[in-house]
Structure 1
């Protein structure tokens, strides 16, 4: 039951990490927006929650000395997959932090053109307190706070990876795969070759009939030429 739960958590973590990676690629592009930044925040927080749960399950299983050899090998494979997924998540979070810092949504801008139009203090204060201005300030505060939170979460994920390596010593190069490298490609190639042999077997009678027809046609053509030559000589 614990193994199935770990597999389910790891599958959900893979999906969340893949979704986060896809969203990070759009930061700073024409598709970047407030909604994207909020979705990035939700997705990375969900991925971190799944990572914490998966780490707890896998750590408890691998530190159990009563675990059988076969089950331990399976949990070690899950651990390696989990470690790789966490590395990708950390890399994408660092990329999102760099892109978010380079492309802020609400950077302060100076006006390039001065129209000369001015107003009284009351009018300026009214415009400053407008709903649009307040919303702009709230969005800018979210942008700044989110980058600060993201920077803190990047450090937390890095600490999680270090803590995993200290608590559970599972070198990645010692974990054996279930099947040999390239086994799927070999099986596909074998299936294709079998299909080719069967197809060739089916096409062989057709090829023989075509050859026989060509031979008969050539013989008939030679007879017709001979008859034509005889008729020409007799005439």
Structure 2
């Protein structure tokens, strides 16, 4: 049932893409209406089958798992179907065939064309157009009713079954890899080595300062002696 519901939904979406185009016609609207009625029958039948089975306590665990997968698929199809019904309602209101005149997309034609071929009288054509207009308005009301019912059905199913459609457990088990970081405390030997290194560095600095001072003093003495000799 779910497979047929999925196929019917795909077909309805395919037919919906032609509303307002150059191939839009009364036959297309009839096909969509018949397909929508069959979709609604499948939705009710699937609900009457899945919901009692999931709420039953006599079902085996393996069967319950399979039913949960079917239930999630069914919920996804319902959500998508409601969205397509809303699109159909909007497009059929924007592009009516028999109620008023509306220019179709990429055609330059307007519907309905009034022709008097095949010996049909003007009164007969106007009567058919009036009946088609009534049928079109009735179809819009039925579509609005179907949208409300499918929305209520989604809420009822969610409240009746504690399984949420988005709660899907992964089939592959994964192990969480955790790595520990070891902090090595400095040992006494390293502390002693650092202390010795600091002492050596200080000694080198002191020696460097003394050498610089000695060079400066010697240079000043030499310069003073040379200056005194030159004055004599």
Query: TM-score w.r.t. structure 1 length?
Result: 0.62
How far has the Cα of 1:148 moved from its partner? 1.0
2:168 to 162, 175, 179: 175
How far has the Cα of 1:68 moved from its partner? 1.9
Going from structure 1 to structure 2, the CA distance change for 1:24 and 1:168 (only over 3 Å counts) comes to same
Aligned partners of 1:23 and 1:178: how far apart in 2? Answer: 36
How far has the Cα of 1:149 moved from its partner? 0.9
Aligned partners of 2:93 and 2:172: how far apart in 1? Answer: 44
How far has the Cα of 1:71 moved from its partner? 1.3
Compare CA radii of gyration and give the structure with the larger one.
Answer: 2
Query: Relative contact order, CA 8 A, sep 6+: which one is greater?
Result: 1
The corresponding residue for 2:10 is: 18
Is the contact made by 1:73 and 1:175 (CA closer than 8 Å) also made in structure 2?
Answer: no
Is the contact made by 2:75 and 2:165 (CA closer than 8 Å) also made in structure 1?
Answer: no
How far has the Cα of 1:15 moved from its partner? 0.9
Aligned partners of 1:103 and 1:136: how far apart in 2? Answer: 16
- Alignment size in residue pairs: 156
Q: Point out where structure 2 has 5 or more consecutive residues left out of the alignment.
A: 102-119, 174-232
**Partner SS, residue 41 of structure 1:** helix
Is the contact made by 1:76 and 1:175 (CA closer than 8 Å) also made in structure 2?
Answer: no
The corresponding residue for 1:153 is: 146
1:164 to 151, 154, 157: 157
Going from structure 1 to structure 2, the CA distance change for 1:177 and 1:23 (only over 3 Å counts) comes to farther
Q: Point out where structure 1 has 5 or more consecutive residues left out of the alignment.
A: 1-8, 110-126, 181-235
The corresponding residue for 2:176 is: none
How far has the Cα of 1:179 moved from its partner? 6.7
Aligned partners of 2:16 and 2:171: how far apart in 1? Answer: 33
Alignment RMSD: 2.1
The corresponding residue for 1:77 is: 69
Moved over 6 A (4+): none
